[in-house]
Structure 1
């Protein structure tokens, strides 16, 4: 048998997490267990997604979430699976989910951690077999142990994340995460039921020639963003927009590129959620050598004021994000000149 066709044998997610436990002198195994709980839930959700066409789990659920968006059946299933895994794991005192209005108290008031999660990003694409994903952030609680997790625990800025990651369910299922010591990716081997280290120490290219943006709303974009998109076209860049945030981000992280979701007339504060999407991906991209801003501020330094706060997002290769910033600054100068 050709060695290239043999099943992968290497470092599993569990083994990797155990080896990296020394990176956290304050931890006594709880964070490692929490990451393993997320990995377990990812396997279960992956199973549900892979048989979506055979079971009645596609399509709309018939309710709206707190964002005013119609929930898909798989949104609800993934939300239940991840919350159940985090509750049963016993390391989390509170969870906030894009699919839930309020803080979810786990009943484990001695838990050291808070998890913010988008259980299934891009789930409306499941009906047409487009890649979708899960996004998560982990914070240490700042309230006293023994009490329920508080709003203050849940509304920490992105610099205080101790871990963040995403799972992409596509042609293969991958879990990518960081604990502030680089970014590593693990590919799921279904016949063995294990995530194996496949993308160690991911480094995003400093620049690229791909931009990901929904240009259907371009007429209501800020002038600086319009000018940057024109710059991309003049320089022969390629437009690649899947409409599934995790899939667009994952491609650009590995190959170089930029993802842009600016404010628009319909969504003046942007559409993406700071706590469930932007913070986690910003932490990951910075650890891989990239950047993330809302157009003027570093994403990780934005102080959240609401569990479901929205935020513009410009994220990707460093030189490309810096170029957007140049166009945005030029727009501000032009506006100031008009005022004078």
Structure 2
């Protein structure tokens, strides 16, 4: 049986009712090439003096790792010249990145978290890259400079979303709006090969992922839900649950996409000025599209994440996603107060 590469898969998507355009196919292929380069840099670790802090902070006020900067630069340089993008936005940069005037512009906007979970790099735990594709609003793509406003689109308007996980194998998980598919990098040939089609998140689960160290700051609906899970067979749920927490959203979501579960980074009172921890545009939206396309659900606790209208580029939101029945239960607890 012949193996299907990412390029072959995308060409077939282009042919099947024109699910994607040739330009979107090219964009995804370029992102995939950048992901291979990032995976190579992550895989070399301390051999290239790329571990440790870069000596600065990003716009989020978080300390940047050297590999954060390297991954960000790889994605920018790979995607500047192709003529398929109007602009890019990164979790690591304050403002949108403009396409240099020497290159043609296209109709798409690319958003990315270049290295999710980078606090785990120095201890050799899986990290990843998350990306999202939007169409540039009509008229904005011809502007000399693409402003933040062009990116402020609800997650339901994403044309494609994906993530890479750099673990024992480098995997690329992708949706273009017709299911979720996983590709594994064949390091001998340098090609991403389709290894799982139409991934599905089971509606029920016995696993949950949450940072339990924040329990004292959670809102009552989340405290109630987690207390029920911890109570196990003797509690109201009548069965035991296991907790798993990696501290890298890509790794935690990949586990849930593979075998089920619920991931929660809810709103808390630790910092009342922040609506949540995770970024809507770079993390919550792309992951929510992937989870929904796989039959799961994604909520802030009060509304579907993909329906949130962004107000700013680096907006944070609460995130509850994964197995549908558990996400709906947590949302119901929020609605009940």
TM-score where L is the length of structure 1:
0.92
Aligned to 2:209: 212
Question: Number of residues paired by the alignment?
Answer: 324
Q: How does 1:67-216 map to 2 (within 5 A)?
A: 67-107=60-100, 108=103, 110-144=105-139, 145-147=141-143, 148-216=145-213
Aligned to 1:337: none
**Distance in 2 (alpha carbons) for counterparts of 1:199 and 1:175:** 11
CA contact (8 A) 1:143 1:149 kept: no
Q: How does 1:1-340 map to 2 (within 5 A)?
A: 10-22=3-15, 25=18, 28-107=21-100, 108=103, 110-144=105-139, 145-147=141-143, 148-235=145-232, 236-268=240-272, 269-330=275-336, 332=337
**Distance in 1 (alpha carbons) for counterparts of 2:20 and 2:300:** 32
- Once the 2 structures are TM-superposed, how far is the Cα of residue 328 of structure 1 from its aligned partner? 1.7
- Once the 2 structures are TM-superposed, how far is the Cα of residue 265 of structure 1 from its aligned partner? 1.7
- Once the 2 structures are TM-superposed, how far is the Cα of residue 325 of structure 1 from its aligned partner? 1.5
Give the 3-state SS of the residue equivalent to 1:120 in structure 2.
strand
**Distance in 2 (alpha carbons) for counterparts of 1:81 and 1:327:** 43
- Once the 2 structures are TM-superposed, how far is the Cα of residue 153 of structure 1 from its aligned partner? 1.9
- Once the 2 structures are TM-superposed, how far is the Cα of residue 109 of structure 1 from its aligned partner? 5.9
Give the 3-state SS of the residue equivalent to 1:100 in structure 2.
coil
- Cα deviation, 1:96-140, whole Å, max 9, x if unaligned, reads 100000010113563110011000001111111100000000001
Aligned to 2:237: none
- Single out whichever of 60-69 and 83-92 deviates more from structure 2: 83-92
Segments of structure 1 that go 5 or more residues without pairing to the other structure are 1-7, 333-340
**Distance in 2 (alpha carbons) for counterparts of 1:156 and 1:26:** 21
**Distance in 2 (alpha carbons) for counterparts of 1:24 and 1:44:** 32
Give the 3-state SS of the residue equivalent to 2:245 in structure 1.
coil
CA contact (8 A) 1:143 1:150 kept: no
Give the 3-state SS of the residue equivalent to 1:62 in structure 2.
strand
**Distance in 2 (alpha carbons) for counterparts of 1:89 and 1:24:** 25
- Cα deviation, 1:78-100, whole Å, max 9, x if unaligned, reads 00001111112221110010000
Q: Are the structure 2 counterparts of residues 274 and 128 from structure 1 closer, same or farther at C-alpha, using a change threshold of 3 Å?
A: same
RMSD across aligned positions (CA) = 1.5
Q: Are the structure 2 counterparts of residues 142 and 191 from structure 1 closer, same or farther at C-alpha, using a change threshold of 3 Å?
A: same
- Once the 2 structures are TM-superposed, how far is the Cα of residue 53 of structure 1 from its aligned partner? 2.3
Give the 3-state SS of the residue equivalent to 1:153 in structure 2.
helix
- Once the 2 structures are TM-superposed, how far is the Cα of residue 167 of structure 1 from its aligned partner? 0.3
- Once the 2 structures are TM-superposed, how far is the Cα of residue 240 of structure 1 from its aligned partner? 0.1
Q: Are the structure 2 counterparts of residues 196 and 25 from structure 1 closer, same or farther at C-alpha, using a change threshold of 3 Å?
A: closer
**Distance in 1 (alpha carbons) for counterparts of 2:303 and 2:113:** 23
TM-score where L is the length of structure 2:
0.93
- Single out whichever of 103-112 and 78-87 deviates more from structure 2: 103-112
- Cα deviation, 1:222-266, whole Å, max 9, x if unaligned, reads 011001001112231001000011000100111110000011222
Segments of structure 2 that go 5 or more residues without pairing to the other structure are 233-239
Q: Are the structure 2 counterparts of residues 56 and 46 from structure 1 closer, same or farther at C-alpha, using a change threshold of 3 Å?
A: same
- Once the 2 structures are TM-superposed, how far is the Cα of residue 26 of structure 1 from its aligned partner? 8.3
